[in-house]
């Protein structure tokens, strides 16, 4: 992407890297999906082990401020890059995340490193060092991690939103004393985890003292021969399976022990064998609370409409389709018995859905009319983002600026009820798998 183009007039070159959501559907399905999961899940926060790693790291920071506040404040005042409390904690987080990934990769033959964020880049660094760990630096600064933009894309970044919505902390890493007092009791019952916390407290104290650079930098050889530290990492996070204390904690904090979320979670053993529509429908039948049941019904009412709208767009954006008349029969099939009335009551809940309905509502008499409405809606979405349309009509001809290939048949959408949007079920399945490893 040409970063210099971001704040200029719309540029067709920008869209080649473009938006992956040309219909703006994410704002709709995210809203209705998160009514069920209370913003405690995202599409990237799906690994139970990473939840636990993040919990331990933030518990270390909580305890460090409680018990070593003088060292913490001295570091904040001493290091040029630590401009405030957030910067200081972010640097400490990056240090802990990078030390963990190096420690586990160094023991790759006896631990499971699948899903560890940063493992590919860290492995490249280990390979280049050829055993000379003095060449590998660990930077305790928020922009200097193994990963680019690690503070946003690493373990903390991907799990920060759920942690905030669980009430554990604020955006600036201000921790809830009530929640962390409870977490402290959990760690007291997890001997290996508690030992690793204590070990990291010592390492951080050493790290933050007696350095004259803008932020603390250490080399990996400083820790390589610490067999106790390496074993603690392997014991705590060297396998995907989590101990029963952590399993129960995450089931509660993720909200999958009650309501519609629990009903969906209970169906996860069928995920992959049953369609998403079937999973939601089965959860609906199981759910007894009427308010929770309603949340599932909203999705059942909404998605057939959204999928028909999405499918119309993808038909039009298929590079093999040159004329609107080529897909007229498919478009007519999409508008025939389109489930429009069940969606109208939901428009007051989501502005993007209301916008989509406004474009479509008077344009379902025939497929061509529907297609024109869908492309007008798409154009509006892209213009609001400062981009341009992927597809335009010129009389009967279709102009493709960002050509696509369609992989779903119209009959699969209309007759078989194919859903384009997945409402976090992939994330729930990953959580389910992580909590049920034997």
Can you tell me the mean pLDDT for 355-372?
A: 96
The mean predicted confidence, pLDDT, of the chain is 93
pLDDT tens digits along 366-399: 999 999 999 999 999 999 999 999 999 999 999 9
Q: In the structure, what pLDDT confidence band is assigned to residue 403 with cuts at 50, 70 and 90?
A: confident
Residue 2 pLDDT:
34
Q: How confident is the model at residue 14 (pLDDT cuts 50, 70, 90)?
A: very low
Report pLDDT for 211.
79
Unique residue bearing structure tokens 């005042």:
77
Is it the case that residue 249 has pLDDT exceeding 60?
yes
Weakest mean pLDDT among 186-200, 283-297, 393-407: 393-407
Dihedral (CA of 120, 125, 128, 131) sign: negative
> What is the DSSP annotation of 319-361?
TT--BGGGGHHHHHHHHTT---TTTGGGGGG-HHHHHHHHHHT
Q: C-alpha distances in angstroms, 303 versus 29, 296, 297?
A: 8, 11, 10
Bridge partners of 104?
Answer: none
pLDDT over threshold 60, residue 252: yes
pLDDT the model gives residue 69: 96
The answer to whether residue 147 scores a pLDDT higher than 90 is yes
pLDDT exceeds 90 at position 272: no
Would you call 159 helix, strand, or coil by DSSP?
Answer: helix
Query: 3-state class of 218 per DSSP?
Result: strand
Mean predicted confidence (pLDDT) in 35-57: 96
User: 8 pLDDT exceeds 90?
Assistant: no
State residue 282 phi and psi, 5-degree precision.
-65, -40
Across the range 230-241, mean pLDDT stands at 97
Residues of the chain above pLDDT 70, percent: 96
> Residue 379 and residue 98: Cα distance in Å, rounded?
43
Region 42-54: mean pLDDT is 96
At 19, the pLDDT band (50, 70, 90 cuts) reads: low
Q: How much is the pLDDT for 250?
A: 97
pLDDT at 68 over 90: yes
* Residues in contact with 136: Cβ distance below 8 Å, sequence separation at least 6, in sequence order: 102, 125, 126, 129, 219, 220, 221
Determine the pLDDT at residue 1: 36
What would the mean pLDDT of 188-209 be, rounded to a whole number? 97
| Whether residue 7 has pLDDT greater than 80 | no
Q: How many whole angstroms separate alpha carbon 192 and alpha carbon 190?
A: 6
- Say what the pLDDT of residue 131 is: 87
Output the CA–CA distances (angstroms, integers) from residue 215 to 210, 222, 224, 253, in the order listed. 11, 17, 21, 35
With 90 as the cut, is the pLDDT of residue 5 above it? Answer: no
Rounded mean pLDDT, 359-366: 95
């Amino acid at each position: 992407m040409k970063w210099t183009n971001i704040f200029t007039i719309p540029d067709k070159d920008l869209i080649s890297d473009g938006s992956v959501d040309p219909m703006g559907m994410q704002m709709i399905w995210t809203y209705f999906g998160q009514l069920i999961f209370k913003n405690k899940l995202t599409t990237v926060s799906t690994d139970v082990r990473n939840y636990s790693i993040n919990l331990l790291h933030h518990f270390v920071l909580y305890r460090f401020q409680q018990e070593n506040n003088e060292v913490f404040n001295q570091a904040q005042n001493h290091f040029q890059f630590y401009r405030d409390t957030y910067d200081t904690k972010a640097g400490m987080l990056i240090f802990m995340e990078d030390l963990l990934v190096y420690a586990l990769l160094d023991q790759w033959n006896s631990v499971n490193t699948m899903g560890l964020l940063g493992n590919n880049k860290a492995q490249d660094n280990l390979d280049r060092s050829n055993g000379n760990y003095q060449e590998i630096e660990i930077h305790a600064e928020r922009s200097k991690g193994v990963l680019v933009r690690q503070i946003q894309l690493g373990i903390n970044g991907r799990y920060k939103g759920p942690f905030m919505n669980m009430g554990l902390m604020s955006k600036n890493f201000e921790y809830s004393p009530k929640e962390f007092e409870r977490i402290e009791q959990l760690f007291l019952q997890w001997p290996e985890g508690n030992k690793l916390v204590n070990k990291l407290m010592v390492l951080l104290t050493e790290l933050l003292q007696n350095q004259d650079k803008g932020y603390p930098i250490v080399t990996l050889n400083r820790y390589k021969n610490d067999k106790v530290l390496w074993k603690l990492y392997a014991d705590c996070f060297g396998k995907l399976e989590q101990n029963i204390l952590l399993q129960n904690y995450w089931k509660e904090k993720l909200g999958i022990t009650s309501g519609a979320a629990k009903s969906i979670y209970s169906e996860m053993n069928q995920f992959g064998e049953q369609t998403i529509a079937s999973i939601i429908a089965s959860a609906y039948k199981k759910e007894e609370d009427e308010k929770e049941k309603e949340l599932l019904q909203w999705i059942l009412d909404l998605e057939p409409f959204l999928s028909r709208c999405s499918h119309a767009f993808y038909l039009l954006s298929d590079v093999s389709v040159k004329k609107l008349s080529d897909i007229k029969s498919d478009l007519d099939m999409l508008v025939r018995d389109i489930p429009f009335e069940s969606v109208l009551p939901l428009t007051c809940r989501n502005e993007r859905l209301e916008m989509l309905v406004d474009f479509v509502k008077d344009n379902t008499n025939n497929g061509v009319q529907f297609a024109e409405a869908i492309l007008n809606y798409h154009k509006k979405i892209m213009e609001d983002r400062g981009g341009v349309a992927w597809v335009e009509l010129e009389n009967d001809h279709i102009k493709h600026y960002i050509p696509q290939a369609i992989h779903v048949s119209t009959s699969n959408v209309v007759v078989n009820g194919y859903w384009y949007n997945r409402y976090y079920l992939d994330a729930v399945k990953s959580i389910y798998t992580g909590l049920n490893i034997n």
